[in-house]
Structure formats: C-alpha cells, structure tokens
Amino acid sequence: MFDKFHEECAVVGVHGHPEAANMVYLGLYALQHRGQESSGIVSSDGDVLISHRQMGLVADVFKEDIIKNLQGASAIGHNRYSTSGQTDIKNAQPFVVEYADGPIAVSHNGNLVNANELRQQLEESGSIFQSTSDTEVIVHLIATSKEKTLTDRVVDALHRVKGSYSLVFLTTHTMIAARDPLGFRPLIVGRFRGEGERDAWVAASETCVLDLIEAEYVREVEPGEVLVFSRGGMESLKPFPEATPARCIFESIYFARPDSNVYGHSVYQYRKELGRQLARESHIDADIVTPVPDSGVPAAIGYAEQSGIPLDLALIRNHYVGRTFIEPQQHIRNFGVKIKLNAMREVLQGKRVVVVDDSIVRGTTSQKIIRMLREAGAAEVHVRISSPPTISPCYYGIDTPTHKELIASVHSVDGIRSFIGADSLAYLSREGLYTFFKGNDAGYCDACFTANYPVLADDNGKTPQLHLFEAVSRR
C-alpha cells in the first residue's frame, strides 16, 4: 500500500527439535514482514515429508490441528510475497517433490538470473515443470545431477545457477542451508543448546526469529557457504571460490526488522546512525523532526539527536488497517494514505517540520503525506531521506518498479522535491551509507542506488533478468 520496495520471501528451518514445526511457525510469524501472500511449512517425521501451504498470513494459514499434523524433529518454512501477480498456490513454498533419492523440500529467498536458460535446457532434456517459480529449476538440477550424495547433488546444482539465493532444503533426515557466493540475501544460523543431548539448529532470514524462539545466535551463514545439518550436527562446506560479497544494503536500510541483527550489525542502530549522518549532511533550521511511521522512526530519532531539533510525532499510524478497503466513490483526498496515517494539527500548526523517511520509490505517497502535513498546518515541510536516490531496479529478489517508474531515475532531486511538494529535499549520500562501517563500502550490493550489478546474466555482460516464466496455467 505504501510506496516501498518489497522484500519477496522469508525462509526458516529447524533441525533436531521435538517441536520443529511449531518453532518454524513462530519463525515465520516473526518474519511476516518479508512476505504476506502465502505461507507454508514442511516437516519430516523421519519417514515422509508432511506439508501445508496456503495463501494468506501465517496466523490464518496455520491452526492448531495443522501444526499438530506437521510432526517430526525437522521442518522448514517459507513466507512469500509474489511479484508480477502470479499468485498461484502452485508457486507457494516450500516446494516439495520426489526424485530418485526420495522426497525433498526447499524454501528459497532470491532470484536466479539465468533461470530462463536453465529451464529451457531442462525441458529439452525431458523435465516437466508445474510452477512458474525459479525454485523448481534448482530442484530439477538436483534431480538430474550425476552426483551420488544429496550434498554433492546440491552443490552441483548451485554451481549451475546464477543470481541470489538463501536456501533451506529438507529431506527425511537432513536439512541443508545454502547462501549464494556473493551473499545477496541474509541468512543466519542459530542453536538450541541440548542439555546433555544433541543441539538443535535453526537457519533463518533474520535474527529476530532466534529472539522469539529463544535460540542462541551463532553467526551468519557465510556467502557461498553450504551448511549440512544431520544427526552428526552441523557441517560447513565452502564449494565456491572466495569473492567479494554483495550483501543487499537495503536490508539494513528498510527490509529487515529493526530488532534484527543483519550482517553482524544492529539494524536499529544502523538506521539511527543513518539519521545522524543525514543530519550532518543536510541540516536545516526547523521546529520539529517527525518520522514517517513506522520505518522512518529510528532515522528520525538519530536525526533529532544529531540536529538538536526536538522529535515529535505528527503522523499517527492506524495499525488495524488490512490489505484492502472499500473506497467511497466520491473523492476523498489522499484517501489511500489517510486510511493508514493521520496528521495532527495540534503538533503541526505553524511549525517548520523535518520529515524523515527511509526511501522514495515513485513519490506518490510522499506527495500525499506532504499535502496532509500542510493541510494540518505545517508552515514548512523539509523532507530528509536516509538513503540515496533509488535509480535502478533490483534483480536479486526484491520487488522494485521499472526504471521509468522510479522517480529518481527520471528526475533530479529538485524535480522530485517539486513533484512531492516539499520546501526542501535531501537524500543521504552513498558514502553516508557506509559511515557506520567506518566508510568501508566493500561487501555490499547497492545496485539500486548505483546500477552497478555484481552478477550479470551471462559472461557477455548482459544485464541480469527476472525469472518471469510464462504461466503454464492459471487458476
């Protein structure tokens, strides 16, 4: 509803825990912000895989009897936010199939930039496809691999795909977590300490999962690492040559939960620091600093602290808002924003206001918010964005508009200011993003700000692609 980039998926896996499916369920609950269209869990009772996938939020998809039915000591789960309208249950994950060595399930966060070529090759060799998801390509590569063991087949398959992936696989006895060589999407590993017994293990997109289920944070799954969880515990493989990572910086800026620790850093502290840096880079005299809730709050606190301008909440968010409304036919101005945000005259009347937000994508929401602020009495509205202008789409698992729709791709900062109706507008510098890391920008992907894409579709330097398969069939 808001004008934001969208994270596409959450993955969770738990191995060796007596309530594995319940733990995965709680993990998906904690990661609901990463995908709201479908949710699924597959568990292993040591004999068969048991699955439940459904369109809807975690709280609606899983009921007591369903969780009870997902028996066994290992389970993986997935939340999905679908891009391009292909909201078919067939694309819901975890994806489950049977191949020569038995059943296998997989949860995937990311996007394969060579999925189209691989699918064509596989189909030419006789493979059949039942979904439009690039995840099915990975499973076919595992099934058709000439290797013998599960681990070797997985590694073999991963060598053939390009792009971004944080993956969790489940077979009847083994769980495997894998992250692409550049580590585009986050993936962490945690542990339940066994009391005199075996430890149980957790793999998840974000650390907030561990906080909820009271597991201990071990570390990031490293870029290019493959972790194999079995009765023997956790084994680490590094089948890829080392490379400079390309961790998505937008996870830290916006996607991840503020209470998560991503890439080894507190997201909340990072966002506060972006706010402080923003105040250093583009100070302005004003009466109050106010965030666009909820994502703008940490940066606004940082901005207020650094600038000395008092923080106040001029915009109140209604958290009961669902995903759709019945709009009146008669025009209500700014309705789409008003249903979620209300601007308070008592706070704004006659004030010079600094509004802090994390990003501007199309500019449409910003325009409406600024109009609301002015109508509620703001004397001046100065917009401060805690990241650089977003000029280029993402091909690594984030739902972004096309170039043309990205306002910063077609307009100057002053053009944007004029469009959204602000008195002044300033973005954080690219360098500002890395202040918190002591200025070290190595190891991050910021292609959405720079158009420098770390992985291309092929060796000829072709731009990466989205895996937009034609629908086989529609429901």
Give me the residue label for tokens 């992250």.
179
Tokens representing residue 270 in the block: 């990072």
Least distance (Å) between residue 344 CB and its own copies: 5
> How many Å apart are CA 384 and CA 359, to the nearest integer?
9
Nearer to its own copies, 242 or 335 (CB): 335
**What residues pair up with 317 in beta bridges, in sequence order?**
341
Least distance (Å) between residue 314 CB and its own copies: 9
Nearer to its own copies, 329 or 402 (CB): 329
Task: Give the other-Cβ count within 10 Å of 370's Cβ.
Answer: 23
Do 37 and 55 contact (CB within 8 A), yes or no? yes
**Which of 312, 76, 311, 299 is closest to 177 using CA atoms?**
76
> How many Å apart are CA 353 and CA 439, to the nearest integer?
30
Nearer to its own copies, 404 or 474 (CB): 474
Least distance (Å) between residue 129 CB and its own copies: 4
Q: Considering Cα of 164, then 472, then 474, then 59, what sign does the dihedral take?
A: negative
> How many Å apart are CA 287 and CA 351, to the nearest integer?
6
> How many Å apart are CA 190 and CA 40, to the nearest integer?
21
Catalytic machinery residues:
9
Interacting residues of 87 by C-beta distance below 8 A, sequence separation 6+? 37, 38, 55
Nearer to its own copies, 52 or 351 (CB): 52
**Is residue 230 helix, strand or coil?**
strand
Nearer to its own copies, 213 or 445 (CB): 213
- DSSP H helical ranges for 214-296: 249-250, 267-281
